[in-house]
Amino acid sequence: MRLVLFTLLLSVLFLAKSCTDEENLIDFKSSYKNVSGYPLLISGYGSGNRLLYSYALENNDSSPNCTVSSPSFLGASCGADSIVVRFDSGRGFICASRFNNSSNQCFLSDKSPIGGTGQEEFYREIFPNTFEFLITKEDFENAFELPQ
């Protein structure tokens, strides 16, 4: 009798666990790849303009991978809510999730390292769930004059 009750209890617990609304999380890896032909610096900032990361990339260099667990791809922000890409010329881009692209100096054509949905064309999938955000020669040519 105890065995039957124990089995019944385990069955109920298993069914209750399988009926939760918990989302399936996937580990996504992302990095930046500089194919512009020019050296650049990528800096990611969190709340309060706190520097989270900074990568100096020569041409054809890639940043280290960042891993984010999410039900869908969230871009290459790696926890930053604003990203600055600055070429040695002082030109570059400022992309921030707290502003829309028309009010800041983000990439043209709605290209942004922040947010993955609708951004797939700007990433290259190098392995399953591993993406590179490419910074191209066209990006260099279209860069904005940034404040010091």
Per the model's pLDDT, the better-predicted residue between 24 and 4 turns out to be 24
Q: Which helix (H) or strand (E) holds 133?
A: strand 130-136
Q: Give residue 102's pLDDT.
A: 45
Query: pLDDT tens digits, residue range 5-15?
Result: 445 555 555 55
* DSSP label at residue 81: S
Who's near 81: CB < 8 A, 6+ residues apart?
45, 46, 47, 96, 97, 98, 114
User: What pLDDT band is residue 86 in, cutting at 50, 70 and 90?
Assistant: very high
User: What pLDDT band is residue 22 in, cutting at 50, 70 and 90?
Assistant: low
Per the model's pLDDT, the better-predicted residue between 25 and 116 turns out to be 25
What radius of gyration, in Å, describes the C-alpha atoms of the chain?
21
